[in-house]
Chain A
Amino acid sequence: MPAPPSSGRTLLSRALVRRLRLLLPGVASLSVWQVCEALVPVVIGAVVDIAIIPRSLPMLAVSIAGIALLFTVLSYGYRFGARLCNAAREHEAHALRVEVSHAALTSPDLPPDRASGEVLSIASADADLAAEVFAHLGRGVAALLGMIVAAVLLVLSDAVTGLLVLIAVPVGLVLVALPGRAVSVKAGAQLAATARAANSAADLMRGLRVLKALGGAEWALRRFRTTSDDAAVAGVATGERSGRLSGVGALVMSAVLAVVLVVAGLRLLDGQMSAGALIAILGMTAFLTEPMRALADIVGLTARSHGAASRIAALLTDLAETHPKTHSAAEAPTEPAHAAPSHDGPSHSGPSRAAHPQAEPGHAAPPHGAPRLAVTAHASGLTVSGDSLPAVDVPAGTLLCVLVDEDALAHDVLTALTSQSRVLGPDHLLVTPHAVDLFEGTIRSNITMSSGTDMTASPGTAPAAPPASGDVAADVLAASGADELLGLVADGLDHRIQELGGNLSGGQRQRIALARSLHAQSRILVLHESTTAVDAVTEARIAAGIATLRCDAVTLVVTGSPAFLAAADAVVYVPADAPAVTGTHSGLLGAAGTIGDSYREAVAR
């Protein structure tokens, strides 16, 4: 895999090189268009000069044919040039988008400081912005060529006036551009204020149910009115300033036109210039402001594209860097796991090693000594150990619950298991995060993790591949409690799931995620507080169902739910300020002393 572009500049130049086939003809064609636009006033002058003033019918015919030709070339020049540049832009934007999303999804983990929202904005808005550089490039080069042609024509029609125009117009534009920056800052502030008002409205609408339930309408309207009025005030200020700027622009260009008019008029008077040339020169003076202004805009717009390209390059570099980093972090805990595929030997090969590696990445250990709790997967099951626990192998057919008082410790144990699972694969070890992710498709496609549309499922090289047909076993549905919700929705398993599962409630989502985890039939399944939004009655049914369904496999549940604790074969409890203990739910509930007290306190009922 080639290294990602190191900076915005390299990303843009790579883009340029790989879209050259579209860009070269595109820019050439656009330049033809711009030159033709410059020729329109020249042609008008020429027609007056050669046909109308001399009253020549043949020349009139030539003129009309010329206009037809000019506009045909102009029109096709724009059409094909703009299309080619636009195609380059769209293809590049798509390529960048695909690159970013592939990098983000295949990297071991998103860098911690990058939220998925930011990646989304980079993959959509920034990819578009960066690729927009082609549109600017096309317009910029074309504008430049158009100006050069116009300049040559001006000097050819009349050297003195031509040179005057070529000096006066840029000077005038600079005069106009000077206060322009301040205005664009203002305009930016106003856009931001408008965006703030829109965001505030969206925020209030998303929380509308909360507002309705508590009676916060007055509060909301007051807040919004302030934001909205601020945007209006900013809008008036910007309108006035940008109006003043265009006013100055009009004044400056009129002054230039007046000066050119005096010089050209006097030269016409001296007989050094034809009427046609006068029309052409004055017409082009007016025309020249367009490409020049476009060029000035393009500088700013290109800077924007460059900024977007830099953000993309930075993200790609970050993502590429996480690969080696996370591997080194994952190395320690996966060390015992690496041995797993090579043999199916005695399961006690791991424990002694398993206890230590956990301390490094997990930060679960107190400053000195063994970790408070370590869980390691190996060939035939799990090994649980800790500072006060001798290493214990968890054999197949066990439902083990872990109840940890400190959230940080639970997080570390899960993180370590997750990095192991990346090496072992979902058939061996599957760690299901607490947060449920649903994907657009059907309930079925979300359980089988196949595409909701036409794609076929996983590579199929795995020994215990789930049925690729998309059939979900009835016992999986029953054990996850998903069977109950299938009766409530239209089309059962083929019920459509919207983006992010937005049309389902928390409990429904959790049960689909549970069915997905069970469907994968991994030898070791790790769940984390997976039924928090499910009602108590159903939760008890689910706990019992999972224990029965996974009677040949290892299931580890990190939870405080009494339903799961009661259904577990064994419970490992790690209090906040005491050594870890193992036992059964009823045993621990009935335990005397502080450990029993803190366990009873910890069980979330």
Chain B
Amino acid sequence: MSTDSTVPDATSPPDSSTRPDTPTLPIATRRRAFARLLPHLRGRAGWLVVLLVAGTANAAAGLVGPWAIGRLVDALPAGAGPEVVWTSAIAVAVAGLVMAVGTWIGAWALARVAMPAVAGLRTDVVGAALALDAQTVERTGTGDLVSRVADDSRRVSETSTQILPLVVESVLVVVVSAIGLAAVDWRLGLVGLVALPMYWLTLRWYLPRSAPLYQQERAAIGRRSGRLLGGLTGARTLRAHRAEHIELARIDSASVEARDLSIGVFRFLTRAFSRNNRAEAVVLSLLLLTGFALVWFDETTPGAVTTAALVFHRLFNPIGALVGLFDQIQSAGASLTRMVGVIDAAGSRDREAAATDTATDATDTAAEAVPGSDGPVAAADGGARSAGLVLRDLWYSYDDQVALPGEQNHVLRGVDLTVAPGEVVAVVGTTGAGKSTLAKIAAGLAAPSSGSAQLIEDWPVIEDSSVSEDGPVNESGSVIEDRPAIVNGPAARTGHEITTLPEHRLRAHVAMIAQEVHTFVGTIRDNVAMPVPDAPPAAIEHALRRVGADWAFALPHGLDTVVGDGGARLSPLQEQTIALARLVLADPDIAILDEATAEAGSTGAHLLETAAAAALEGRGALVIAHRLSQAEAADRVLVMEHGQVVEEGPHAQLVAAGGRYAALWEAWSG
């Protein structure tokens, strides 16, 4: 993808040859979701039992009140003494104590079970998203992931803290009260069961209608927010064109739409509550009617009927809560399946990666670049070695229908590129020439449709900077003797297809800074440490100084200044120097730069170029040149046009040759 070519996931069909489920990630089944949740619950079985016991005791103690009232209704007119009153009162008080302890312990146990389980799942999802292979992330975009990993996980977390306790308590109260009702009189218990189909019918009526309504409402609110944000951020442009009224009208209409939908949703909700009321009235009447009949035939006492009616009355709120919260529970469940979908998507990849890892781990220790060590890696046989890239006959298309080379619609059309250790290669070309796609393939962020992209880990470093095209030879004792891949070329050399390499191994050699700049919420120190989490402070400071980020030390809190969303604001230039400092700290053998100096003005462009040059010192690089001065500084320049390399050579040579590059340079340098 070039500076400004199309974003693939917005305009092109997904490449089903690499991942059939893109551009959206899969959604797990409920069973899968539960299976993922289970391991997090397993270690807490003890607390689950405590929760169950405490909750049941609490619910049972709640029945004492209605029982005591019924007892008084029966006993007192029958001539019992005040001791009945006292014992009943004591029973109520003791029940209060049980309820207090039961509520307390129950809530505690629930929190002990739910909070760590949700936190574990939350972390699993983030871990899974981080482990997704880079090509998937490039293809699906990050929007779906943000919504699943942040929004869905937030919904599940909030449901577990705010709604789950209520739901658990309500369920226990309903179940225990039903048992209590049956214990008072089994026939009254049977009548109470009539409530079940009635509430079930309410849910059957409510749920299928509510889900789309809520969805529409959420979508309308999202549209409203989007238009508000668009209007507010674009206020300057709107004002310049005197076009405020257009956006205002659109904001108003979105707001009206959301308002009317919300009102409609609420009207619907009140109808559901009316159904609840109807069920309450019917069951209460039935209980009293049956009670009357039982009393009539001396089958039971008025006190028992009283108890039954009061027990049922006590259920109004919990049942109402359950019915009212049902859609929130459902929505949390849907969020859960979407979260687990991410885990499953990454899980399949995990296994593949693990398989590759075990196949290579035994031998790749020597080849592993040690983060923080400067320069080429000394291999087992003693010669200085570093990594290089060999890309051969690359074809790439966003359109999965066009799989074969030679057909139309290819962004890359048979590109060859070699980056030897320490060599800086610049790529120049127009929009849509395929520069950025080439960079992504080299960095392992995209898989070529055909052709080979290999990382050579044991390329001997030749002091002469003009590295021969032949590259490394597979010497005896080579560190990658397993699964050797033969690359077409003048001489056989060993390498690994970049797309099959485990990420940690690839990133030890190749790192990229793309056009997208992101500063994470955290300190500047944290932000720089991203590629090497355990980097010593001195290394971080050194990295920042090397890219000329002296401004960071001058901040009020220095490197501990919190930046990112909500923190201190950095200029785009400063954010880009942080990205370069990360690269210095990561210290890869090959750096790939595709950073557009889009936001930097004339002064900024200079600073950034100096910083980039400092960051590239001592390593090989593939630089997508957005400014010709970047090409001028490179060892070799590739001129691309329509997915093909049309000119190649050192800057001076190309300028002297008088071809396309020379014409560009003429226009550029004035």
Contacts and interface: CB of A to CB of B under 8 A. Distances in A.
B3 A101 contact: no
B263 to A, nearest CB: 5
Nearest to B262: A90
A235 B111 contact: yes
Contacts of B161: 190-191, 194, 235, 238-239
Nearest to B660: A537
A206 B146 CA distance: 7
A440 to B, nearest CB: 6
B93 A255 contact: yes
A539 B513 CA distance: 23
B232 A104 contact: yes
B600 A205 contact: no
A202 B122 CA distance: 12
A11 interface: no
A98 B249 CA distance: 10
B154 interface: yes
Contact of B2 (A222, A450, A535): A535
A246 B62 CA distance: 13
A254 B92 contact: yes
B329 interface: no
Given A206-B518, A275-B73, A538-B430, A451 B530 contact: no
Given A225-B123, A499-B229, A500-B229, A407 B99 contact: no
A247 B99 contact: yes
A265 B88 contact: yes
Contacts of B149: 201-202, 204-205
B256 interface: yes
Nearest to A196: B521
Contacts of B359: none
Nearest to A45: B306
A226 to B, nearest CB: 10
Given A282-B65, A283-B310, A450 B246 contact: yes
B20 interface: no
Contact of B111 (A74, A238, A425): A238
Interface string A100-135: 011011101010000010011001100000000000
Given A257-B65, A505-B7, A104 B605 contact: no
B167 interface: no
B69 A279 contact: yes
B5 A505 contact: yes
B235 interface: yes
Contacts of B259: 90-91, 93-94
Interface in B346-395: none
A349 interface: no
Interface residues of A, number: 188
A262 interface: yes
Contact of A239 (B73, B107, B508, B526): B107
B624 to A, nearest CB: 9
B170 interface: no
Contacts of A484: 431-432
Contacts of B107: 239-240, 242-244, 246-247
Nearest to A488: B6
A116 B233 contact: yes
Nearest to B148: A205
B198 to A, nearest CB: 13
Interface stretch (A152-160, A368-376, A428-436, A545-553): A428-436
Nearest to A201: B150
Contacts of B246: 449-451, 455, 457
Interface string B270-314: 110110011011001100110110011000001001100110011
A510 B598 CA distance: 10
A323 interface: no
B4 A266 contact: no
B667 A563 contact: yes
A537 B430 contact: yes
A75 B275 CA distance: 9
Interface string B579-595: 10011001000001000
A566 B295 contact: no
B219 interface: no
B241 A430 contact: yes
Interface in B506-561: 506-508, 511-522, 526, 529-533
A601 B607 CA distance: 11
B227 interface: yes
Given A105-B247, A538-B430, A48 B129 contact: no
A432 B234 CA distance: 12
A65 B242 CA distance: 66
B277 A535 contact: no
Contact of A105 (B105, B244, B278, B289): B244
A40 interface: yes
Interface stretch (A207-215, A338-346, A382-390, A469-477): A207-215
Given A55-B296, A71-B280, A439-B234, A258 B668 contact: no
A229 B119 contact: yes
Interface stretch (B30-38, B130-138, B611-619): B130-138
A537 B99 CA distance: 78
A320 interface: no
A453 interface: yes
B447 to A, nearest CB: 14
Interface in B251-266: 251-252, 255-256, 258-259, 262-263, 266
Contact of A566 (B227, B262, B598, B670): B670
A184 interface: no
Interface stretch (B174-182, B626-634, B644-652): B626-634
Interface string A481-512: 00011001110000000111001111110110
A603 interface: yes
B103 interface: yes
Contacts of B635: none
B417 to A, nearest CB: 18
Nearest to B162: A191
A60 interface: yes
B69 A208 contact: no
Interface stretch (A79-87, A329-337, A357-365): A79-87
Q: State the 4 A-B residue pairs at the shortest beta-carbon distance, nearest first.
A: A243-B107, A254-B96, A560-B602, A239-B111
6 contacts: A94-B255, A209-B516, A211-B130, A215-B531, A221-B126, A437-B236
Given A82-B273, A503-B7, 12 more contacts: A41-B310, A71-B278, A79-B271, A101-B248, A106-B248, A212-B137, A243-B104, A262-B86, A278-B72, A426-B242, A508-B4, A561-B602
